[in-house]
Structure 1
């Protein structure tokens, strides 16, 4: 069978290469089943004409897909698809809504974090040189430290944080449709701290909080510590929170707050489009709902960085939380929050939970941003993450059994759905014995769902050692 018609033209975002966009577009076509195994792609000339790109651009994109195992070249015949799209179908979600419940996070999460393995199968493997962006960051922070004068060391930073850093964050966020002022921002010790402040500010013990399912286990930890109840809202790994399910839940229970990641949510990398975002804001208005936006992955978008949900907030009810940990450095521990109508309370809570942030660290990051170093780092990082994602996807599709897996356009991880007979929790100690650390699916639910699912990250280079570790999983999971 020959497919010669493309579905639409490429949407080229600023700061990305055309061959990357074309490569991603063809890969998405394979994942969506637009082209099936054995299908011939349109000719190079046809692609050039239909997409308005050069011959060199098309050849580069096709060569990369061939190297990753998605295509094969047949002399005088063209490029043909080699991998089955059924293996890349998005994981399924359940539509059943369970009643609110207290949260009890598994001790397994502490074990994973203690092994420093949240995003790595082989956490003991610390190979490679520092990326240029991190070298520049370290220099900027070092310069800020050396410039400290007099008795600065004897004074605390103001609760809201360094003004120059908040100004730079305002410029960054304005590019995403939200003209925020420095007075609306508060610097925190990472995004987890920001989420903690947000929940403390708008909830009381016993309140019900709606979360994505599967969703971020860090939020579940916070709910447990604060004595809050959770209601899990089914989430599509492609498009995000199920708005019909959320509306049903709002009609049945007195939900105080909804925590949502509209951009490349973990674990599946879902990106919520504008229509459900607007519907979410309408539901929040109708039910007097506080919205906590976990925006930590937004800047990781391979082809574009979506607008913030906060940009649609006309009623001052979206608390925006984020940090640099997923796109710059996990070790930086520098985040921010914009508290909407709860902002003054959040400033007070920050003094209770942290007192103050390091001034020289903030000053160094502010200078790093002002000099354009962050923008340059993000361009390099997006390209690198896109390449690592493609390599990991090719490796997963080479497994001896079909798996359902997301194909995120940003973020750091895949969400794998394995056969129903697989028990990833039971496989965890077996994997440890083999020197591999997995992240079982039940960690992403308060009710123990997703026992046959895994989160696998592409945040580290997929060299031969990590590929070997990955290829041990089918046997450890009894897939062979």
Structure 2
């Protein structure tokens, strides 16, 4: 346990014992640093962690205070109910809706509550630029040809080392570097399906997964998904009995849009269930590094003994947005994925690979990740308080243990698409629930991005969205 985690646990114990009571002010960062003989950074990290746990809250220009737990527990919005998708498979036609939403998000002046990316201010972009320049100066030009297909050999070794830290043995030759995680996921899907096949997806699911199915002329069958625990394995078993599923595309860690996290045993059972039926699992794990707890949750890939899990990751959400460097550890499908990569885009961007390889070799990535996780945890806590305060009565909201999305279920009379367009007129982007379902369901839900540094514009935007939602409430009968 790190020093800041120990200090955070001590304060949590004092709150649990009622030694520190709701409304009590914690020592200032300077006081705590002096009294405990620890650095101000350690105190900040401890306070961010406690804030993410919902135990304390920051008050502007005043300090940190113990939350009014008994009041908050009664007032806080409830959790959304598990989804109940239809039993049949369906052809996907969602792209026009997605393009309309994404097109609106490109405007620089918008507050990006609908974006899929965290705020760029949270990333070490100047240092990455320096490693990019240095890497290109020393690069052997012959590498441009040598690394076609699988990608930079040094980068693949660095990724394999990160798997090893989690206790996973992944051969670097199994890893294919891609143009972001989306290419990794799309290549994986192409490697194991043919047009007309049925693919099982979560409900709701990331809209890019739906677009991939649409592009490849595949059918989707949605699986009931719990907002906290992820895919319902009983529901999945029923789906597999009813349909000839050729692949599953799931996000077990901090799923987009729900933020749910499958328990470790459920991941183990999921891998076993699919292995028994020889169904490949395409695992989207781009948020796996963004956990708020003490330990990184293992991916489903950790329980794969047959090479049937195609584990897809990316540096876009945790280190280098815009560099478009992802990968897939494709197991027994690695050769098929590599050949598809050669047939489509030949290679991931060479300069981007050089930049990230140099950054990882220099060290400091885990320190950056700790700071990023703390910032995201604090941002989520602020967003949850804003939703609780400003959204209409009857609103339900998730409380993820990582990532940077909140899934908000509004009262049934509110149309999220109408709210999305209304928010745009106030220079705020949203992601309405309809784009996260093959059947365009979740019409009164929205995904809210809370992955931004503390910013009054963001706080005000969440307040405005809540007020706009309230204005759309149907009058009582």
Structure-2-length-normalised TM-score: 0.84
Contact 1:176 1:306 in 2 (8 A): no
> In 2, distance between residues paired with 1:25 and 1:333?
43
Aligned pairs for 1:62-73 within 5 A: 65-67=56-58
In structure 2, the partner of 1:464 is 456
**Aligned equivalent of 1:271:** 261
Q: Is 1:111 the equivalent of 2:103?
A: no
For 1:6, the equivalent position in structure 2 comes to none
Q: Deviations over 1:281-339 (max 9, x none)?
A: 22112322111010110001122211121111112211111111111122010000122
* Range moving further from structure 2, 240-249 or 323-332: 323-332
Aligned mates of 2:70, 2:466 — CA distance in 1: 24
Match of 1:35 in 2: none
Say yes or no: does 1:382 pair with 2:378: no
Alignment of 1:88-237 (within 5 A): 88-116=77-105, 122-123=111-112, 130=121, 133-148=124-139, 151-152=141-142, 155=145, 157-237=147-227
Determine whether 1:473 maps to 2:465. Answer: yes
Q: Could you list the per-position Cα deviations for residues 98-134 of structure 1 after superposition, in whole angstroms to 9, with x for gaps in the alignment? A: 20011011423213323446999614999x9955722
Distance 1:85 1:20, change over 3 A: farther
Q: TM-score, normalised by structure 1?
A: 0.84
Q: Residue 445 of structure 2 is aligned with which of 453, 458, 473? A: 453
Instruction: After TM superposition, give the deviation of residue 420 of structure 1 in Å.
Output: 0.9
**Separation in 1, partners of 2:400, 2:222:** 22
- Residue 44 (str. 1) matches residue 15 (str. 2): no
How far residue 453 of structure 1 moved from its aligned partner, in angstroms, is 0.7
Equivalent residue for 2:243? 253
User: 1:341-368: CA deviations, max 9, x gaps?
Assistant: 2211111000111111233321221121
Corresponding residue of 2:359:
368
CA 320–85 in structure 1, closer or farther in 2 if over 3 Å, else same: farther
Residues 251 and 154 of structure 1, relative CA distance in 2, 3 Å threshold: closer
Unmatched runs of 5 consecutive residues or more in structure 2: 23-32, 37-42
SS in 2 for 1:83: helix
Asked if 2 retains the 8 angstrom alpha-carbon contact of 1:117 and 1:123, the reply is no
**Partners of 1:122 and 1:469 within 8 A in 2:** yes
Q: 1:152 to 1:202 in 2, by over 3 A?
A: same
**Does structure 2 retain, via aligned residues, the 8 Å contact 1:322–1:335?**
yes
**Alignment-derived partner of residue 17 in structure 1:** 5
Q: Deviations over 1:120-171 (max 9, x none)?
A: 9614999x9955722222211111112235x549746331111110000011
Alignment gaps of 5+ in structure 1: 1-11, 27-39, 48-53
- In the aligned structure 2, how far is the partner of 1:15 from the partner of 1:360? 37
Structure 1 pair 322–423 and aligned structure 2 pair: CA distance change class (3 A): same
- Equivalent position of 2:71 in the other structure: 82
Change (3 A) 1:16 1:385: farther
- The alpha-carbon distance between structure 1 residues 123 and 219, as it changes in their structure 2 partners (threshold 3 A), is same
Aligned residues: 444
